[in-house]
Structure 1
């Protein structure tokens, strides 16, 4: 079934909220406090330990959603929310949200290639969002929410472009053009700390309840074989 048809039904229901909407902004300070006071503890690898793994970079809408999706995938050791795709130095959330930079909300994915391949991560990327909506993902609009698959090597570029061509050949998106940018990775800027693990720390936030969690659950329903055992 085409991902897009279900996706737009969902968008129609929840257009009133957004990763940068008034609803989200109203709850942001409260969410920061909740994240500090009541977030469940999870074991995190140290920066030194993470250096033992490969990295991949993707942008496909609000990074709260994207981070949670990749962290549910087997072989992924950590997903970090941040900014990439622009040239501006030291971007921050206000700059991104107000469209002052060309950066997009993105995630840095640390993964074990013995457990999951870059090709499979590309499948996760395309399977968890609609790559035919230009500068939009769900209720979130603006270039900061555009679809980008970053590559670090020619091999990775070929994998991404090959996947896009296969989707076109199979008419997966029913003739709608894929707007995903295939971009050479330059630099990733980590987002502010309160954005990290935001969905897990703020389950009662209205955007998380109405947008992030349903998006994650749709992914889990369609990609069961990709999930960590404790995510089934």
Structure 2
């Protein structure tokens, strides 16, 4: 569990994580191009991605051309319990997630999936990503249309046959439930707190990997949610 602390205090908090050996969630994998391209027509589309700490998920997608907004929040659960304090404690039915609005004429849903599994989330991990543990950090795809669901199902099947990962793929396709935007302090967190030890240790490398693997879709400016 991460905490928003003053820089010095946060440094103490993350020392143990920094001393751990590199974990699978840090591995950069060049995920395969989707065999089934999304056909979503024109106009902005929305999808939800859960991939561990929403700071990193939002940071990566905010640097993708064609994404007009990436909002951190809580998917599922109840409105009354949709708060960082409660969700991060693991006592609610939410998962940390990011709602992504994108232009399919610039970046397709299947391309977002490829980015997600290349640099954001390790699809072989259940109820954890990076240093974070608990069902609220599970990696989940939340399609918001029939086309997205079909593309996600096909892509997960393709991933399982690709041989890119050494362990079974366990990421699930979740039914769409209510998405509750997180508190203002958690929006654009990486951009506002680039020296935060957690960001430097776990999330800045994901953004760097995005630029390295997919320079054609990377943009340096950080898109606010």
After superposition, the C-alpha distances for 1:169-226 in whole angstroms (9 at most, x for unaligned) are 122213x111111012121100000000010001111111111112221232122222
1:132 counterpart SS class: coil
Q: Report the Cα distance in structure 1 between the residues aligned to 2:200 and 2:150, rounded to whole angstroms.
A: 37
2:62 to 66, 71, 75: 71
1:227 Cα offset (Å): 1.3
The C-alpha deviation readout for 1:24-65, integer Å capped at 9, x for no partner, is 34338x99xxxxxxxxxxxxxxxxxxxx62211100011111
Q: Which residue of structure 2 lines up, in the alignment, with residue 172 of structure 1?
A: 164
Matches within 5 A, 1:156-195: 156-174=148-166, 176-195=167-186
Larger % of helix: which?
1
Give 5+ residue unaligned stretches, structure 1.
Answer: 1-19, 32-51
How far apart are residue 230 of structure 1 and its match?
5.5
- Deviation (angstroms), 1:166: 0.8
Q: Which residue of 1 aligns with 2:112?
A: 121
* Distance in 1 of aligned mates of 2:45 and 2:218: 18
Distance 1:92 1:130 in 2: 25
Report the count of equivalent residues.
Answer: 187
2:138: which partner in 1?
146
User: How much has 1:229 moved relative to structure 2?
Assistant: 6.6
User: For structure 2, which runs of at least 5 residues remain unmatched after alignment?
Assistant: 11-42
CA separation of 1:227/1:163 partners in 2, compared to 1, >3 Å: closer, same or farther? same
Question: 1:107-147: CA deviations, max 9, x gaps?
Answer: 01111121111111111222222110111111111111110
Q: TM-score, normalised by structure 2?
A: 0.77
The secondary structure found in structure 1 opposite 2:154 is: helix
Task: Verify the 8 A CA contact 2:210 2:218 in the aligned structure 1.
Answer: no
TM-score (norm 1): 0.75
Could you give the per-residue CA deviations for residues 6-27 of structure 1, whole angstroms, max 9, x where no partner exists? Answer: xxxxxxxxxxxxxx24xx3433
RMSD over equivalenced CA pairs, Å? 2.0
1:210-225 aligned within 5 A: 210-225=201-216
Match of 2:35 in 1: none
CA distance in 1, matches of 2:172, 2:150: 13
Alignment match, 2:30: none
Structure 1 distance, partners of 2:129, 2:210, is: 15
Q: Give the equivalent residue in structure 1 for 2:20.
A: none
Residue of structure 2 in register with 1:27 after alignment: 6
Q: Counterparts in 2 of 1:56-95, with a 5 A limit?
A: 56-84=47-75, 86-90=76-80, 91-95=82-86
Matched, 1:131 2:118: no
